[in-house]
A and B are shown apart, each in its own frame.
Chain A
Amino acid sequence: MTNTNTVLNPIPMRTWRWLGVNETKLTGEIPFGKIGNYNKKVLQDDRAAIAPIAQLPKELAAYAAKTDAVVSEETSRLAETENNSGYYIEIAAGEKLAAPIELKYELDQENPTLVDRHFIAARKGSESTILISYTGDAPKAFHNGLTRVYAEAGAIVHLIKLQLLGDTAVHIDAVSTYAEKDAKIEFTTIELGAAESITSLKTNLAGDQSTADIQSIYFGDGQRKIDMNYVLRHEGKQTDGSMQVHGALLDHSSKTFRGTLDFIKGTKGSVGREAEEIVLLSPSVRNRSVPLMLAGEDDVDGHHAVSVGKMNEEKLFYLMSRGLSLRDAEKLVIEASFQPALDRLPDAGIKEQISEYIRRRLAHVE
């Protein structure tokens, strides 16, 4: 399998080639067939509900088939066949987890390559939070992940992905979720690291009255490249989807965000909301935003909005009237815009760690 031509994050509906948003390609290499071991401790506690991914029950194959559409077929196959870590997590029917399940991956000198595959089965009426974090500053680290989430009727599942990899890392991560009737998927992503970060999210609101609530923040600095492909598919009746994305770009960073609201014929009474707000802080950044809205059903209420560049002048004016410089006021506004996503982190320690990290990164902005 060759590397350089692997098409990643294809857009659901193609447009003009000169815009360069139909797909992306990786500058670095995907080490097909060369995945070493990952030997570090991942689980933070021993719970019976968590088993290695190899023990995924056969009967869940049907569930896996419903969680499709990811970064690319090749990278998914890599995660399926060459994974060196991964877990099957089952939350029993009616079980409400008091504490989140935490999976920590730290890519260091000895473990610079991670290919992880996870399957989360949230049984009927269960409630759970799963936090998966990727950290570590191993040079040339490589991560390729695939996480599937299946929420049975009435289940509430909150998946948090936190990415704080080093500045030379490649991060490819696909998340695919499926919601049955009355189920709720919450998804929080915090994309702060890696040289190249290519991520996808597919959420299928298949059941009637199912809901999805997506909060995502990204931060680009240095030469960082960020590519995101999020699809929220409304299939059941009276589904409710929301996708809120906040980002800041500085230095020579570049970012493409494709966010799609897809209303399938028959998804009557559904509501979809998508918003992306981007703050640009350096003259040589590159921002591409592609909000798609596809509708085969008239009885829907769809709305998307993108705002690039300009901050809320009233907020800035207020802060400056309290003695802050324009730049400091801007930094504060950025931090505030990240807050809704950060507030969803279960642990105050992590929240403070991330806030501090962002403050440090913003410090050199003049």
Chain B
Amino acid sequence: MEKKKTFVEDIERSLYDIKNEDRPIYKTDQGLTEEIIRNISREKNDPEWMLDFRLKSLDVYCRTALPSWGPSLEELDMNQIVTYVKPDAKMTGNWKDVPEDIKDTFDRLGIPEAEKESLAGVGAQYDSEVVYHSVKQELVEQGVIYTDMESALREHEDIVKEYFMKLVPPRDHKFTALHGAVWSGGSFVYVPEGVHVDIPLQSYFRLNSPGAGQFEHTLIIVEKNASLHFIEGCSAPKYNVTNLHAGCVELYVKEGARLRYSTIENWSRNMLNLNTKRALVEKDGLIEWVSGSFGSHISMLYPCSILHGERAKAEFTGVTFASKGQTLDTGAAVIHAAPHTSSNISTRSISKDGGIVVYRGAIKVTENAHHAKSSVNCESLMLDDRSRSDTLPVMDIANDEVDIGHEAKIGRISDEAVFYLMSRGISEDEAKAMIVRGFVEPIAKELPLEYAVEMNNLVNIELEGVMG
């Protein structure tokens, strides 16, 4: 008898698919030339060194080949991408001043609501520029800086110059070079020594313009013994042309500091999401990544933690859900570069309806990093035989005082588990739903409440047929 499949619904996308009229105040031509870079730089009033930085990055971009691994990026034609779209809105700290249609979009996504209820600060980027930024007064009084990157470049130029693209240099790969050339927008956070930001800050990135790219830069510095939770959300309406996201996130976690970086990525299915995220963690510091990847046509995203100081720690918790037409190549990398460092990676992947998920990871332990500990656990659930799920972890160990473990599983919903639950009086539909919910539970419980609710929409299970 043919086995019937559990039907897991796609994510409800209508909320994200609302399109506004594309009415930028300034927009570069399509493509990438020195002239376009100069225009962006002029439009943004860059200091001279930043213009130089952009031009050097462009040079690196032109000389760097596409990656020789991972999903094919053939469809990307940079000559068709508009790299800078300045919305018809000035950066403001007052929600009332945000233009009506842009405000509506963020209202529908629940951004200002969340600010009122559970956030210490909010930033909202629309296309290439940040249109709104605010932070609670008591944090300002403690010396916390939370602002858009452009303001940071003007008001805290020394800090930006010291840290900007030092951790993720343009030479890293083709898309970091691209980012260095055309970056615009993003958030800057500075938490002074010993300050604990108890409630999260959140930046939301929205790409409205068709055929455009978004290249926001997020730079976070958490000083000694300070702590922060930062949330990043991304979405865009669906267009028939390719949009490109090549953001860059640089996180500096100083001695004894803690940073939790949570992301829910829900780009539309025409997006190439080629994002680079990296954290440098000093002695006794902790970086925690919580990452949900649901959207985009192709994603290549592997947050990397460099454990640079003794006893530095990294935790990564991720869920990836690929459906029809999606190739989500995600994972995590940790470089243990100091003694007694530890890392913990836990991921869950689901693929359905022809979706492709790849877990790609790396654990590297350098010669001096004795007593490094790492534990990696990847589980993949396939919901049909049209989908794919691949796991490709690498461990590279260069000393003998280590404790490294890796484990991965691939499979589908187990008949035994369903039978067991049914024997306890639970219907088959509910049993399967429970199993899928249980599968993503370790991730869901790490998410802020509103995102956990959003993720539960995923696990709307309908069932057809009977057990096979």
Contact = CB atoms under 8 A, between A and B. Distances in A.
Interface of A: 13-17, 19-22, 249, 263, 265-266, 268, 280-310
Which of B360, B389, B409 gathers the greatest number of chain A CB atoms within 10 Å?
A: B389
Contact of B408 (A17, A265, A293): A293
Contacts of A296: 385, 388
A300 B410 contact: yes
A280 to B, nearest CB: 4
Identify the 5 closest CB pairs spanning chains A and B, nearest first: A298-B382, A280-B400, A14-B69, A302-B410, A309-B402
Given A293-B410, A299-B385, A305-B407, A13 B394 contact: no
Contacts of B383: 298
A266 B410 CA distance: 15
B401 to A, nearest CB: 7
Which of B387, B398, B403 gathers the greatest number of chain A CB atoms within 10 Å?
A: B398
A305 B396 contact: no
Interface string B63-86: 000001110000000000000000
Given A15-B69, A298-B383, A301-B411, A287 B362 contact: no
A76 B405 CA distance: 35
Nearest to A306: B406
Contacts of B380: 295
Interface in B374-395: 380, 382-385, 387-395
Contacts of A293: 390-391, 408, 410
B68 A282 contact: no
B445 to A, nearest CB: 25
Contact of B68 (A17, A268, A299, A309): A17
B394 A295 contact: no
Contacts of A266: 385
Contacts of A15: 69, 360, 362, 392, 394
A293 B393 CA distance: 9
A234 to B, nearest CB: 11
Contacts of A310: 402-405
A21 B395 CA distance: 10
Contact of A281 (B68, B391, B400): B400
B395 A308 contact: yes
Given A14-B69, A305-B405, A309-B404, A286 B397 contact: yes
A295 B367 contact: no
18 contacts: A14-B68, A15-B69, A15-B392, A16-B394, A20-B396, A268-B385, A283-B401, A288-B394, A292-B391, A293-B391, A295-B380, A298-B382, A298-B385, A300-B412, A302-B408, A304-B407, A305-B405, A306-B405
Interface string B349-369: 000000000001010100100
Nearest to B361: A15
Contacts of B407: 303-306
B355 to A, nearest CB: 12
B137 interface: no
Contacts of A265: 385
Interface of B: 3, 68-70, 360, 362, 364, 367, 370, 380, 382-385, 387-412
Contacts of B390: 13, 292-295
A223 B256 CA distance: 40
A305 B402 contact: no
B329 to A, nearest CB: 10
A295 B397 contact: no
B412 A283 contact: no
Contact of A287 (B69, B384, B393, B397): B397
A17 B407 CA distance: 23
A291 B382 contact: no
A95 to B, nearest CB: 39
Nearest to A278: B397
A310 to B, nearest CB: 4
A30 B3 CA distance: 53
Contacts of A305: 405-408
Nearest to A290: B394
Contact of B400 (A22, A299, A304, A309): A309
B404 A291 contact: no
A281 B400 CA distance: 6
Contact of A309 (B362, B403, B410, B411): B403
Contacts of A290: 392-395
Contacts of B409: 302-303
Contacts of A294: 388, 390-391
Contact of A307 (B70, B370, B399, B405): B405
Given A288-B395, A305-B408, A308-B404, 11 more contacts: A280-B400, A286-B398, A289-B406, A293-B391, A295-B388, A296-B385, A298-B385, A307-B406, A308-B395, A308-B402, A310-B403
B462 to A, nearest CB: 18
B395 A298 contact: no
A284 B393 CA distance: 23
Which of B382, B392, B399 gathers the greatest number of chain A CB atoms within 10 Å?
A: B392
Contact of A289 (B68, B395, B401): B395
B411 A300 contact: yes
Contacts of A281: 400
Nearest to A11: B392
Nearest to A20: B396
Contacts of A283: 367, 370, 399-401
A117 B403 CA distance: 41
Contacts of A268: 385
A50 to B, nearest CB: 41
A304 B392 CA distance: 11
Which of A14, A15, A263, A301 gathers the greatest number of chain B CB atoms within 10 Å?
A: A15
Nearest to A262: B390
Contact of A304 (B387, B396, B401, B408): B408
Given A284-B367, A298-B382, A298-B385, A309 B391 contact: no
Given A295-B388, A295-B410, A22 B69 contact: yes
Nearest to B406: A306
A287 B395 CA distance: 8
A105 to B, nearest CB: 33
